[in-house]
Structure 1
Amino acid sequence: MVARAFARCALAGILVGALAACGGGGDSDPAVPPANPPVISAHPSAQSVLTDASTTFSVTATGTGLSYQWRRNGTAITGATASSYTTPAASHLDHGAQYSVTVSNADGSVTSTAATLSLLASTNQQVFESLALAPAAGSHRLRWNLNLSGPQTSGNNYAYSEFSVLAQSPLTAGPQTNPQSAPTNLAGSLALTSAGPTRILKNGAILVVPTLQASNRISYVGSDVRVDALAADNTTVAYSQVRSDYTSVSLTGNLSATPAEFAQWFNSFFANPAVFTAGATYAADAGYVKYTSTNLGDRYTAFDCIGATTDTNITPCVSGTTLEAALTTGLVSNSDATTYHLADGTLGTVDGVPVWVATAPRPVSATLSSTVQHRIYFQLNGNVYTGSLIRDGAALGGSYYVSTPGAPTVEERLTFLPYHIRMNKAARDSIAAAMAI
């Protein structure tokens, strides 16, 4: 019987070429390698960065023939197919974004847990928000034209305050428009007046930036604060600056013991004994922030050459001629105490407008600032106008104080301050309560 079974198997082997499959163990398939799908041993971890910074998410997985696909908020990121992924520069739109990765091979796939990207506020931005961001009561500034000694004249001298408050942080909500409040008169004996607006030459036209109730657009760049001054339409950016080096300082005790940097900034208030009531003190929690500022982009400011206007129709220096012809003859700047000629600078074109820029900076006796400025003349609509240029990257000076009374020149009498100051509401209210004029 065994012989008959063997014969049948041999015969089947001859017919199908499978004799080797016959025999003792019965019918069985060849050995199949076990499945080896990916296994994640280290999931991506949450990352926190400053605005404009990049960061890297990573995953560790085991398995053969692995491939990767990273996702942001569930959507595949084109080209993100390695075990790590470096993000582009982060903006407010990336705050709270979820990053995950799917690891695959021939035997299967596995998706990591999601890691969150968060934006951090820098020290500069935190100090800025301590005054400017609601529920804080605002970043307050004073504007003034006060005599350093003697009486003040209404209509010429003035002192008022204004403030602004951000409803949301630019860190997570993006650029925020920040209108200034209506001015509050600090001097009851003086009319509420102010300097005229700033006019800017940009994109071949004149933009008006109001002095009163102006608007800024606030955003964050790296660890710093960017401030865009908006034209009267509250939309067009007229010029920009970047603020850095923020510090916060408390004000306590008598106004006569005010820190020097604060008293020097508000020189006319503190140097003139008639301005404050003797013995006035600071309210609880009074304080201020100090920072530096840098110009962002070339700023071409336009001035009236004759008279004073407040709109886009600035007055020209010369009409019906070319810029080159006018400078060949010579253009007199009374404020700079200089007659400028073509050879004293460089003639070029800015946004299609012929512009001449003086090589030498304007004297500080004319600018009353440590900001380096250059006299400009430009040709627009057949007329020649004047103004000044603050170059990209220039440090923007702040106030000044009289350090050497009686010195023969402005430069010797004054010390120009390289920083800027804004105060909190308690400090502003303390100044207002102390005013004696």
Structure 2
Amino acid sequence: MVSVKCKNAAALAALSVLVAACGGGGSDDGPAPVIATQPMNATVLSDGTTMFTVVATGAGLGYQWQKNGVAIAGATSASYQTPAVTSADSGAKYTVVVTNSSGSVTSSAAQLTLQLSANQQAFENLILSPAAGSYYLHWNLNYAGGQTSGVNYAYSDYGLMSASPLTNGPQTNAQSAARNLTTTLALPAPSSPTRVLKGGAVLVVGASSKVTYVSSDVRVDSLAVDNTTVAYSEVRSNYETVPLTGLVSSAPADFAHFHNSFFSNANILNATATYAAGSSYLKFAQTNKGDRYNVFDCTTATTGAAVTPCRTGMTLTAAMTAGIVSNSDGTTYHLADGAVRTVDGVSVWVATSPRPVSATLSSTVQYRIYFELGGNVYTGALIKDGTLLGGGYYVSNPTGTTAVERLTFLPFDIRMNKAAHDSLLAAMKI
């Protein structure tokens, strides 16, 4: 601090020189920020995260990241890590404003690009337009010998998706109408639909599903008949595309096992038929997402939400204390054989031990359930979250005395492209 008494104009002028020489009258914090390294573009899978970083020089720096020109709350460091990204983030541009007391500078924009995983690319190669669709066979054909119309059948349907979930958000996939693969067997009558206990009520599952991408996998939400409510979900992974060439009857083992009777019964396929060019199938695994409570009729078969109960006018505790016989499982279930839990306000008894494979005819692990709804007791099966879902079975030991001895259960699912489907259709002899 310099204190000077000024007597005249000359003295005042001298004081001005002195103050300027000592740096008085203001402060200098150095130059404005300079960006040495700009944020880099990033490519990321759906549901993943990424980090943007800037390197700047200067004293007392502050940072504010922006997404598409809008400040991101709390993003005030030299680096910014995004939350899990979705289709809405596709093409987003991230910038950062670097400031100090001498000024500010805005970085160049770094763009976020969503990327398909190998699984998702294989899925889209089959189902995404302009591809012709993802084909699935439904059949009940004898392992050997002839077939009976009204009992045996073989038909197909397919799914086709118009836009990618990667950048367009969840996509609805509805299965096509059934196409009969035979000229001698009638299409089957509609069977009881899949029904689940969800939100405190029985939901009938429809033919539509909603597809989204999660990390490197494909999530499929099966919808109720209202085409809005998610009935249950699964995650599909481990996709493998396999070409089909040569004789139709000489298909790879996985494909032949999945469509067992087509290949075991010499009366079904023409032995000299060949696969059309470009024929292939897609093999993948399916994992249950979230606990799924399937609902079954206890007696008479129904087709709606009003399934038939096992007990009427009885509480769950009373019914399970007395015991309920399950003919399919070959056992009588009592209260002590499981535990009661509350699911969306509904009392549900869940067995401790899984149902026998002889009852489910699947590698999917299931647990018998009974639940109380509207004063009645109903039955079904629980598939727990994370369970690997089975994809059918094939006859591996025709001389086995029981179904379990005769069958091998498959832990994968299969879809085929149109060329493969049409090759099988052309090879059909029945």
- Alignment TM-score, normalising by the size of structure 1: 0.93
SS at the partner of 1:127?
helix
> Once the two structures are superposed, what CA deviation does each residue of 1:367-418 show, in whole Å capped at 9, x if it has no partner?
1100000111111111111111101111101111111111122221110000
Q: 3-state SS of the aligned residue for 1:369?
A: coil
Paired amino acid for 2:197: L
Identify the residue that residue 361 of structure 1 maps to in structure 2.
Answer: 354
**Equivalence for 2:428:** 435
Paired with 2:346 and 2:83, the residues of 1 have a C-alpha distance of 37
1:6 matched residue in structure 2: none
2:380 aligns with: 387
Match of 2:221 in 1: 228
Secondary structure in structure 1 of the residue aligned to 2:119: helix
1:374 aligned residue:
367
Please give the per-residue CA displacement for 1:21-44, whole angstroms capped at 9, x wherever unaligned: 189xx9995468596111111111
Residue 205 of structure 1 pairs with residue 205 of structure 2: no
Aligned runs of 1:43-82 on 2, under 5 Å?
Answer: 43-82=38-77
Gaps of at least 5 residues in structure 1 are 1-11
- Cα deviation, 1:207-237, whole Å, max 9, x if unaligned, reads 1114xxx101000111100000011111111
Within the alignment, does 1:135 sit opposite 2:130 as a pair?
yes
Inter-CA distance 14–351: structure 2 relative to 1 (3 Å threshold): same
The match for 1:90 among 67, 72, 85 is 85
* Structure-to-structure mapping, 1:81-120, within 5 angstroms: 81-120=76-115
Equivalent in the alignment of 1:307: 300
Q: 2:183 maps to which residue?
A: 188
Q: CA deviation at 1:96?
A: 0.3
Whether the 8 Å contact between 1:13 and 1:20 is mirrored in structure 2 is: no
**Is residue 160–residue 187 contact of structure 1 (8 Å, CA) maintained in 2?**
yes
1:266–1:399 CA contact under 8 A, matched in 2? no
2:342 to 337, 349, 353: 349
Pairing of 1:318-329 with structure 2 (within 5 A): 318-329=311-322
Structure 1 stretches of 4+ moved >3 Å: 15-20, 26-35
Distance, in Å, in 2 between the alignment partners of 1:339 and 1:17 is 114
SS of 2:263's partner is helix
Distance 1:13 1:309, change over 3 A: closer
CA distance in 2: counterparts of 1:255 and 1:19, whole angstroms: 107
- The one-letter code sitting in structure 2 at the alignment partner of 1:163 is Y
> Is this contact kept in 2: 1:124–1:223, CA < 8 A?
yes
Partners of 2:33 and 2:167 lie apart in 1 by: 36
Percent identical residues: 60
How far apart in 2 are the matches of 1:189 and 1:259? 27
In the alignment, which residue of structure 2 is the partner of 1:276?
269
Match of 1:18, SS state, is: helix
The SS at the match of 2:209 is strand
**Contact map agreement 2:117 2:217 (CA 8 A) in 1:** yes
Kindly state the Cα deviation for residue 279 of structure 1 after the two structures are TM-superposed.
Answer: 0.8
Q: In structure 2, what is the Cα distance between the partners aligned to 1:154 and 1:196?
A: 20
**Is 1:166 the counterpart of 2:168 in the alignment?**
no
Which range moved further: 254-263 or 345-354? Answer: 345-354
Q: Is the 8 A contact 2:249 2:269 kept in 1?
A: no
- Return the alpha-carbon distance in structure 2 between the equivalents of residues 312 and 22 of structure 1: 96
The correspondence for 1:150, drawn from 141, 145, 148, is: 145
User: Could you tell me how far 1:13 is from its partner in structure 2?
Assistant: 5.0
1:14 aligns with 2:10: no
1:137-176: CA deviations, max 9, x gaps? 1111111111111221212211111111111111111111
Secondary structure of the 2:370 match is strand
Say if 2:293 is the partner of 1:293.
no
CA contact (8 A) 1:357 1:377 kept: yes
Q: For 1:349 and 1:36, locate their aligned partners in 2 and report how far apart those are by CA, in whole Å.
A: 65
Which amino acid counterpart does residue 251 of structure 2 have in structure 1? Answer: T
The alpha-carbon deviation at position 66 of structure 1 amounts to: 1.4
In structure 2, what is the Cα distance between the partners aligned to 1:191 and 1:22?
Answer: 111
CA separation in 2, counterparts of 1:343 and 1:96? Answer: 57
Residue 420 in structure 1 maps to residue 407 in structure 2: no
Distance 2:94 2:319 in 1: 62
Call closer, same or farther: CA 1:341–1:34 in 2, change over 3 Å: closer
Show CA shifts across 1:327-381 (max 9, x none).
2222111111111111111122211111111111111111110000011111111
Shift in CA distance, 270/65, structure 1 to aligned 2, threshold 3 Å = same
**Whole-angstrom CA distance in 1 between matches of 2:363 and 2:272:** 33
Change (3 A) 1:187 1:105: same
Deviation, 1:14, is 2.7
Moved more, 34-43 or 243-252: 34-43
**Given the two structures, how large is their TM-score scaled by the length of structure 2?**
0.94
Distance 1:158 1:280 in 2: 21
Q: Deviations over 1:236-271 (max 9, x none)?
A: 110000011011100000012100000000001111
